[in-house]
Amino acid sequence: MPKIPGIRRGMPHEVGLGLLTLLLLALVTTAFPRFLVIDNVKSLFDDTALLIMLAVGEMFVILTRGIDLSVAANAALTGMVVALFNAHYPGAGIVPVLVIAIVMGAALGLVNGLLVWRVRIPSIVVTLGTLSVYRGCVYLVSGGAWVNSGQMSPFFLSFVRVPILGVSVLSWIGILVAVLAWAYLRYAISGRNLYAAGNNPNAAAYAGIDVGRMQCLAFVLSGAIAGLAGYLWVARFAVAYTDVASGFELQVIAACVIGGVSITGGVGGVLGVVLGGLFLGIIKNALPVVGISPFFQMAVSGLVITIAVILNAGTYRKSHGRKILERSEATS
């Protein structure tokens, strides 16, 4: 068998993507110096913080050869629940809101995780189902009504907007999640096990790692981050309704894929995902500045994603087939 060239042969994926992102930024800025105005950069960070957070959560799942299509629905449901909680108990303060968001998001992730781990349903089937169920539950808990900014208390809305060192709390939370995730994957034993479980489930099982449990853990982490992002989303846009973040899961997965996370598991890192999220965010924010109709936005990001996956295709050659849709061999 000929040796199959891997991505590690040349420069790391992150360097290339980083240079590409800088190039994109330079291109837009030279043509339109307005783009790098402080206000615009701030809103760029705020916009991409949510995408990056959700993509980091998604990365945990993809690393273990799974996929989580329910992140956006999870965020919508959690966001609606905390908005309703806030409307009923306006004086409760920010701490219970954050706790509810994270715990509830993690619980929704645990449902996915247990179905994948214990019932052994492929993750794409599970999250395809919970995607509809969670989205429907948003309607059930809200009765189809919107929760508007008038029903939200001031602390609920202003928490994400408080500037610290010139950057909003929302962006800081995004940075914090990314740094924590990086440290966790780099230094924690269970973080290393996530890579092992995704890279070679059989070998991981022989090394004493419970692969199913790692998959479940990844779903819980992804869910907890999605829950937190749900509150942040609702607070940032000051409205909660049934279709919040509808279809956002695909952008989240796209950020991971552009960031070099291999859909076949075990390959990828936080830095790449952050760059992938920034890359998509810059394109999204640059289009109106450059003067392209917002209706072209989807086509352009679709084109970028398609080109990115073709360029990344070498990463996937290490294994054939779509591992993401298989049950992990070691658990059966």
Partner 1 sequence: MSTISSSVQAGTANGCGVTWRKLLRWETLLGLVVIADFILNTRLSSYFLDPWTLSDASFNFTERAIMALPMAFLIIAGEIDISVGSIIAMASVLMGLVAKAGFGTPLVCVTGLAVGFGAGCFNGLLVTVFRVPSIVATIGTLSLFRGIAYAIIGDGVLKSYAHNFAYFGQGYVWGPISFELVLFAVLAVLFGIVLHWTVIGRRIFAIGANPVAARLSGIRVDTYKFWIFVLLGTVSGLAAVLLTSRLGSTRPSIAMGWELEVITMVILGGISIDGGQGSILGVVLAALLIGLVTFGLSLLNVPGIVLAIVTGTLLIAVVAISSLIGYSGRRRRH
Per CB under 8 A, residues contacting partner 1 are 67, 115, 119-122, 124-126, 128-133, 135-137, 139-140, 144, 242, 247, 250, 253-254, 257, 263-264, 293, 295-303, 305-306, 308-310, 312-313, 316-317, 320-322, 324-327, 329, 332
Give min distance, CB of 256 to partner 1, in A: 10
Min dist. Cβ of residue 166 to partner 1 (A)? 33
- Token pair for residue 133? 């169920």
Q: Nearer Cβ to partner 1, position 166 or 247? A: 247
Kindly list the distances between the CA atom of residue 17 and the CA atoms of 21, 196, 306, 319, in Å, as whole numbers in the listed order.
6, 25, 15, 23
Q: Which residues pair with 147 in a beta bridge?
A: 240
Q: Residue 42 or 327: which CB sits closer to partner 1? A: 327
Residue 99's nearest CA partner among 245, 231, 219 is: 231
Distance of CA 263 to the CA centre of its chain: 14
CB of 302 to partner 1, least distance (A): 3
CB of 143 to partner 1, least distance (A): 10
Cβ of residue 303: shortest distance to partner 1, in angstroms?
6
Q: How far apart are CA 59 and CA 71, in angstroms?
A: 11
Residue among 49 and 256 whose Cβ is closer to partner 1: 256
Question: Is the CB of 86 or the CB of 312 nearer to partner 1?
Answer: 312
The DSSP line for 110-129 is: HHHHHHHHTS---HHHHHHH
Q: In angstroms, give the least distance from the CB of 84 to partner 1.
A: 17
d(CA 212, CA 324): 14
Tokens of 130: 């919970």
Residue 102 or 263 having the CB closest to partner 1: 263
Residue placing its CB nearer to partner 1 in the complex, 25 or 121: 121
CA atoms within a 13 Å half-sphere pointing along the CA-CB vector of 79: 33
